Amino acid sequence: MTPDTTSPAEPGRVLLVDDEPAFQRLGGAFLRNLGHEVLLAGDGESALAAYADDHPDLVLLDLAMPPSMDPEQGLALIPRFAGVPVVVLTGHAEHELALRAAELGAWDFLSKPIDPDLLRFVVTRALRKRKLDAEVARLRAQQGDDAMGLVGQAPAIQSLRAMVRRVAPTRVNVLVLGPTGTGKELVARALHDHGPLASGPFVPVHCGALSAELLESELFGHVKGSFTGAYRDQAGLVEVARGGTLFLDEVGEMPPPMQVKLLRFLQEGSYMPVGGRVTQRSEVRVVAATHRDLEAMVRAGTFREDLYYRLKGIVLRTPALAERRQDVPLLAACFAQRRGAGLSAGALAWLAAGEWPGNVRELKAVVDAAAALLLPGQRDLDAETLALAAGVPITETAPAADEADGLLDRALVELERRMISEAMQAAGGNQSEAARRLGVSRVGLIKKLTRLGLR
């Protein structure tokens, strides 16, 4: 791999841990010339103190340090630098130690004597990853109030979020359309959580999982003795959802006999349990979803037209992942973080190169499976582990290293653009206040605004 020397990282705080004064002096000067702030430590105790007090963005760690000069002492430090990339510095004959360091969570390793271009390359990549991880964590923390669980920056997902915010406060029925695996239930939950019935229950039911008879009992309940096995009265999900939201997932799969009974409930708010003789009522908000073309089903006579228009209060559409490919890095990073893992630049590029016909659901499943395959102490998912989890040969889809760098750069630019836009909006357009919120100078903010095309 040829080191990238043309695209330096933004300045970071680097902790250089090495007991050799000459290496501290030369390495520190080299890193400062790149624009980084350098912290120096000559042993494990002072390194941990600097980590606790100064919060570095990256640790360069020599394994052999006083008092014992035993590499085991250096290895034991790696897990102590939690949440920060650790690059291990080794001698030529210490490759076995480097492998053990990786198992303990080291991000990379360099052999002494260290090539300056390689050092610059590794430091740049590590700081970019650190920045991406921090920004993903910040965005995830905002999801409850901002993204409502609908993660992404693509225009299609931003429009969907805006519609959910607009529709949620109403009580109108909503029909959510979109391919399988695009998050239709997430939309339904967001409508519920941000609507007037948020204090009530959210009750999902899969309309295609049961026969017409069982679905009727599931929805509307039954009375004792109404059929074999009905040993007691049983409330239906319509009753369970009273005062909340009833989510009819894959309503296009509903058997025709049930469509008539659901229509009556939507029209009158009343229903009759299986085997019952007394009409009951339940007030719920109905959100339905399907991946099917209901209008085509109406024309074909397989779905009732009057039911379709009852469900179609407002239509929301969830986009396929192919329509929002720019969101793949952020989505994958969020899924990996939930599993306590990170993603290498190569992994991000491999993910972005995939077709993902199963959409977000498939992406999440592959990342979750890959996280389960991580070795003890390994922090980052790589392309090989993801390919293994997906069941495909890595040679068929592995992108080149320069593609990985480009993808990571683009992801960081998009995240930085959103962060600055949000700060400017929160500050009412006041650049000085936005700079204060971001922790940068006003001049630095103006440069960023210009570079990102936000002025």
Instruction: Specify the pairing of strand 280-281 against strand 270-271.
Output: antiparallel
pLDDT score of 149 = 73
What is the Cα–Cα distance from 330 to 415, expressed in whole angstroms? 9
- Please state which of the four CATH numbers 3.40.30.10, 3.40.50.2300, 1.10.8.60, 3.40.1390.10 is assigned to the domain occupying 321-399: 1.10.8.60
Encode pLDDT of 149-169 as tens digits: 788 878 899 899 999 999 999
Residue count (the chain): 455
Is-same-fold flag (13-140; 155-317)? yes
pLDDT score of 174 = 96
Domain chopping of the chain, boundaries: 13-140, 155-317, 321-399, 403-451
pLDDT score of 4 = 42
Residue 397 backbone dihedrals phi, psi, to 5 degrees: -130, -5
What is the Cα–Cα distance from 170 to 177, expressed in whole angstroms? 19
3-state secondary structure of 250: coil
Q: Which positions ≥6 away from 340 have C-beta within 8 Å?
A: 371
CATH T-level assignment (fold) for domain 155-317: Rossmann fold (3.40.50)
pLDDT score of 91 = 67
pLDDT score of 409 = 59
pTM of the model: 0.63
Strands, sheet with 314-317, edge to edge from the N-terminal-most edge strand: 202-206, 245-249, 285-290, 174-177, 314-317
Encode pLDDT of 378-389 as tens digits: 778 888 899 999
Two tokens, residue 127: 């700081």
In CATH, which superfamily holds the domain spanning 403-451? Homeodomain-like (1.10.10.60)
Where the chain has pLDDT below 70, the residues are 1-9, 67-69, 91-95, 135-148, 225, 229-230, 394-416, 438-440
CATH class of 13-140: alpha beta
Which residue type, as a one-letter code, is found at position 155? P
Task: Label residues 285-319 b or e (16+ Cβ within 10 Å = b).
Answer: bbbbbbbeebeebbeeeebbeebbebbebeebbbb
Encode pLDDT of 226-256 as tens digits: 777 667 778 889 989 899 999 999 999 998 8
Instruction: Specify the pairing of strand 108-111 against strand 86-90.
Output: parallel
